[in-house]
Amino acid sequence: MTAAEQAAQHGLIRVGARPSFGSYLKQAWARRDFAYELAKSRLQASNQRNRLGMLWVVIKPTMNALMYGFIFGILLGGSRGPDFPSFVVIGVFLFEFFTGSANSGAKSITGNVALVQSLSFPRITLPIAAVVQQFLTLVPMLVVMFIYVTVLGTTPKASWLMIIPLLVLFSMFNMGVALVCARLTVHVRDFTQILPVITRVLFFTSGVLFPIDRVLNAFPGLVRLFDFHPIYQTLLLARGSIMDGTEYQYPGFYWIVLSAWAVVMLVGGAIYFWAAEERYGRVD
């Protein structure tokens, strides 16, 4: 009898062996408290040394919104659309959640080498913790965002509650993106240098700063493609639920398409990440 057969007979498994996908998810769920506490502690530590502390969570996106709003408000001129300041605030604040999830997810494995190599646990908890951290960052930003749009003239209404299911879907989508980025960075370390370029391109092509239908009205076929752009759909659904008037009303099927994107990215990202589980323990 070989050593492998003897080990199997006595219930021994190879160190770092990848469990089945179902078992893997159960192990990750059992460590959900660890993921949350890791996310919370890192959020607190990230601003601990700054004089203004957690205030930077809202100061940074506010400064970005002011800067981009001023620049693009001048460049767009008559194509800005109504309530342009609220338009930019919603776009910048929500896109910060996507950018933070992708960037922190990409570094979640390679940035925790000691933890990955010294302890046995499902590595998926690390990118999950990274996205949870970004979500905890988003919560105070949302409060400030609603204050801003109210001050800018938007009337509070019941449709604001639609931001809750929207954030659930957007979080699922971002989680899938983070899982894909986490594995890609393990295989190709230079991906962390490429990712900021990708997110910057998405920033300028997702309708964060300008209404797509107004700027690209000469290209109706191109505008039609945005009906299947998950980030653009998220921003349009948010603006349609929060802002007044009919300018930013959205087709009902956007919810269906965004839901499909969220499920496909989350499930596909989890499977893609799980498939390389044995590789993460050898990260260097």
Is 8 part of a structural domain of the chain?
no
Is 232 part of a structural domain of the chain?
yes
Is 12 part of a structural domain of the chain?
no
Is 252 part of a structural domain of the chain?
yes
* CA dihedral sign of residues 269, 275, 280, 284: negative
- Categorize the per-residue pLDDT at 255 as very low, low, confident or very high, splitting at 50, 70 and 90: very high
| pLDDT higher than threshold 60 for residue 15 | no
> Structural domain of residue 116, as residue ranges?
20-276
- The fraction of the chain above a pLDDT of 70, given in percent, is 81
Whether the model clears a pTM of 0.75, i.e. scores above it, the answer is yes
User: Considering only 11-20, 57-66, 221-230, which range has the smallest mean pLDDT?
Assistant: 11-20
Amino acid at 241: S
Is 5 part of a structural domain of the chain?
no
Predicted local distance difference test score (pLDDT) of residue 47: 67
Tell me, what DSSP letter sits at residue 156?
P
Distance between CA atoms of residues 67 and 80, nearest Å: 15
Predicted local distance difference test score (pLDDT) of residue 143: 87
Question: Kindly report the CA angle at 256 between 250 and 258, in degrees rounded to 5?
Answer: 80
Tell me, what DSSP letter sits at residue 181?
H
Distance between CA atoms of residues 166 and 157, nearest Å: 16
- Categorize the per-residue pLDDT at 118 as very low, low, confident or very high, splitting at 50, 70 and 90: confident
Question: Residue 134: which of 142, 124, 123 has the closest Cα?
Answer: 142
Q: What are phi and psi of 227, to 5 degrees?
A: -65, -15
Question: CA Rg, the chain, in Å?
Answer: 21
Amino acid at 211: P
Q: Which helix (H) or strand (E) holds 140?
A: helix 125-151
Predicted local distance difference test score (pLDDT) of residue 79: 52
Distances (CA, A) of 282 to 53, 125, 276: 36, 17, 11
Q: Position of tokens 């776009």?
A: 91
What's the total number of domains in the chain? 1
Distance between CA atoms of residues 254 and 231, nearest Å: 11
Is 164 part of a structural domain of the chain?
yes
Contact call for residues 91 and 208 (beta carbons, < 8 A): yes
Predicted local distance difference test score (pLDDT) of residue 77: 56
